């Protein structure tokens, strides 16, 4: 009797413990997609990655993570590198970065000495001027063009200016002679440059160097005249991008007012919203939806600047690495960083950005490809999935659940239906998601879910991303439980979904700390192009 009483006590205790476990471990969420109209449109080649100028001597926090990854010394014949670019079909690549305003182009006459970057204490960013010779420029264009890349090149916007002693301010007119020689040579070789960007982080207070907005605007007009002159016989004229710096609303507004219509085609701004690469709290920031939302106002303000002062232009994220100073080792190059990265892509799309350039394709700790062996890091596969699945048309997406569930929807790329990106930042909650198609021509105000929606019950394709062994800081990513790794021939692996047939009231389930792309094949969205 005593033994039975003891067992009953244990059983009662267990029941009491179970009853006190939070019911939020499984949460039912309804997501509404307003499908009659789009809210924004990205460029077809929205995904972009950068190649930088940093030499091997570039170090931060007692680490030197760049190796031979720069525009000058990268092994362009590497098979993995070429296959990684080709996998996107037309990956945008921005050639530029901090040292671009110290680069001399070794072409034309009366050139100053043209040497490799060297450590120089009194130099900008601690380096001397550097050199781009034409054999290297030829090789870059040959290899990247063959791989299908769409190129942006950042011009030296400090050429010919004088630095005010003991300040970061550079004054005087931009000397365009060296840029003219490079552009002329590029045209003579029939190299296709999608866009020329004017300087790097010279706007506002600048990073290392700055130029006053009145002078910068004047020089942009000169660049526009130069492009018009040199490309007058060309069938396709490149875009002009500016200013390639951190958003300073008053400075950006005035730049567009000074230059006027049709000078700046793309307004580029940079984002490093996770702090320095040595920030001890970076993991918590990435997994905190409230922290991630701090950048939303910047996206909105950039969109307002375009609308109010440059409606002929468009907004681009010209460079974004999350953590500055080469990224955070063990974070930026691991699975957990995809929570930040994909959320950034979703936000930028919602607020009308045409392009998002990730720092970097290779080089530093934030690279999409391992700097030593060129193997893809987890964010590479996240970028590739976005590029293959998310079309340019952005649809308003609302849900009534936890802020730890992020949701973004686009028309499916090259296929029928829509693709939804779900990001689960919770470490304990599985979300069971019901998706509804809101066909209300006059949708409710932001944040409210409409009545009269149609529950999505059709076929779908799912791409679940999780880290190997559940370790968030793993450099290995699993797609639907299988490791993504290069083939024996060093090709990027096939990206295949798991398919689900139609089920009444079927929900989409996303596990804690995981990412899911899901294409609803039968989702009828009037805003989306008709596809078979």
- List residues with catalytic annotation: 201, 319
DSSP-based three-state secondary structure for 387:
helix
Q: Which residues pair with 518 in a beta bridge?
A: 420, 462
Tokens encoding 532: 């078979």
User: How far apart are alpha carbons 69 and 74 in whole angstroms?
Assistant: 4
- What is the distance between the terminal CA atoms of the chain, rounded to a whole angstrom? 72
User: How far apart are alpha carbons 370 and 70 in whole angstroms?
Assistant: 13
Exposed/middle/buried for residue 315 (C-beta within 10 Å: 0-12, 13-18, 19+):
buried
Q: Residue-wise over 175-200: b if at least 16 C-beta within 10 A, else e?
A: ebebbbbbbebbbeeebebbbbbbbb
User: How far apart are alpha carbons 131 and 108 in whole angstroms?
Assistant: 13
User: How far apart are alpha carbons 513 and 431 in whole angstroms?
Assistant: 11
Q: Which residues pair with 420 in a beta bridge?
A: 409, 518
Tokens encoding 120: 């120089």
- Alpha-carbon distances of 219 from 160, 255, 267, rounded to whole Å: 12, 11, 15
| DSSP, res 262 | T
Exposed/middle/buried for residue 50 (C-beta within 10 Å: 0-12, 13-18, 19+):
buried
User: How far apart are alpha carbons 433 and 517 in whole angstroms?
Assistant: 13
Q: Which residues pair with 409 in a beta bridge?
A: 395, 420
| DSSP, res 218 | H
Alpha helices in 109-243 (DSSP H): 134-146, 177-188, 213-230
Question: CB count, 10 Å around CB of 312?
Answer: 12
| Region of residue 28 (phi > 0: left; psi between -120 and 50: alpha; otherwise: beta) | beta
Torsion sign, CA atoms 442, 446, 451, 454: positive
Exposed/middle/buried for residue 321 (C-beta within 10 Å: 0-12, 13-18, 19+):
buried
- Alpha-carbon distances of 296 from 205, 395, 418, rounded to whole Å: 22, 17, 24
| DSSP, res 377 | P
């Amino acid at each position: 009797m005593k033994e039975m009483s003891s067992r009953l006590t244990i059983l009662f205790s267990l029941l009491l413990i179970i009853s006190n476990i939070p019911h939020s471990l499984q949460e039912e969420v309804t997501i509404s997609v307003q499908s009659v109209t789009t809210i924004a449109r990205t460029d077809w080649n929205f995904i972009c990655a950068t190649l930088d100028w940093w030499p091997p001597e570039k170090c931060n926090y007692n680490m030197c993570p760049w190796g031979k990854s720069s525009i000058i010394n990268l092994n362009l014949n590497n098979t993995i590198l070429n296959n990684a670019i080709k996998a996107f079909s037309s990956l945008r690549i921005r050639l530029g970065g901090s040292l671009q305003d110290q680069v001399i182009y070794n072409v034309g006459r009366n050139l100053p000495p043209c040497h490799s970057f060297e450590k120089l204490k009194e130099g900008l960013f601690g380096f001397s001027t550097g050199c781009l010779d034409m054999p290297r420029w030829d090789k870059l264009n040959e290899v990247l063009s063959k791989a299908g890349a769409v190129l942006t090149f950042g011009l030296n916007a400090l050429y010919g200016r004088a630095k005010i002693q003991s300040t970061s301010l550079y004054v005087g007119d931009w000397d365009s002679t060296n840029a003219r020689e490079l552009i002329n040579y590029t045209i003579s070789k029939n190299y296709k440059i999608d866009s020329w960007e004017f300087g790097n982080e010279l706007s506002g207070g600048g990073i290392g160097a700055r130029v006053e907005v009145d002078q910068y605007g004047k020089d942009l007009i000169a660049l526009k005249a130069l492009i018009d002159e040199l490309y007058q016989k060309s069938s396709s004229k490149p875009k002009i991008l500016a200013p390639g710096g951190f958003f300073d609303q008053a400075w950006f507004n005035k730049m567009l007012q000074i230059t006027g219509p049709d000078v700046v085609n793309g307004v580029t701004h940079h984002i490093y919203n996770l702090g320095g690469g040595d920030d001890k709290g970076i993991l918590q920031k990435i997994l905190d939806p409230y922290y991630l939302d701090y950048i939303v106002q910047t996206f909105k303000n950039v969109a307002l600047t375009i609308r109010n002062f440059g409606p002929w232009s468009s907004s681009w994220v010209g460079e974004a690495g999350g953590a500055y100073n080469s990224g955070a080792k063990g974070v930026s190059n691991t699975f957990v960083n995809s929570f930040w990265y994909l959320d950034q892509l979703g936000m930028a799309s919602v607020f009308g950005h045409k392009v998002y350039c990730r720092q970097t394709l290779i080089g530093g700790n934030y690279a999409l490809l391992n700097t030593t062996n060129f193997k893809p890091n987890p964010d590479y596969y996240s970028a590739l999935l976005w590029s293959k699945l998310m079309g340019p048309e952005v649809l308003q997406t609302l849900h009534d659940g936890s802020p730890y569930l992020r949701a973004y929807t686009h028309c499916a790329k090259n296929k029928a239906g829509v693709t939804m990106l779900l990001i689960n930042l919770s470490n304990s909650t599985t979300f069971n998601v019901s998706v509804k198609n809101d066909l209300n021509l006059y949708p409710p105000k932001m944040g409210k879910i409409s009545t009269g929606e149609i529950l999505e019950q059709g076929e779908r394709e799912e791409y679940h991303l999780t880290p190997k062994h559940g370790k968030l800081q793993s450099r290995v990513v699993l797609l639907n439980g299988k490791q993504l790794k290069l083939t024996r021939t060093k090709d990027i692996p096939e990206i295949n979904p798991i398919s689900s047939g139609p089920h009444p009231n079927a929900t989409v389930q996303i596990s804690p700390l995981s990412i899911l792309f899901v294409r609803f094949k039968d989702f009828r969205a009037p805003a989306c192009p008709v596809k078979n």
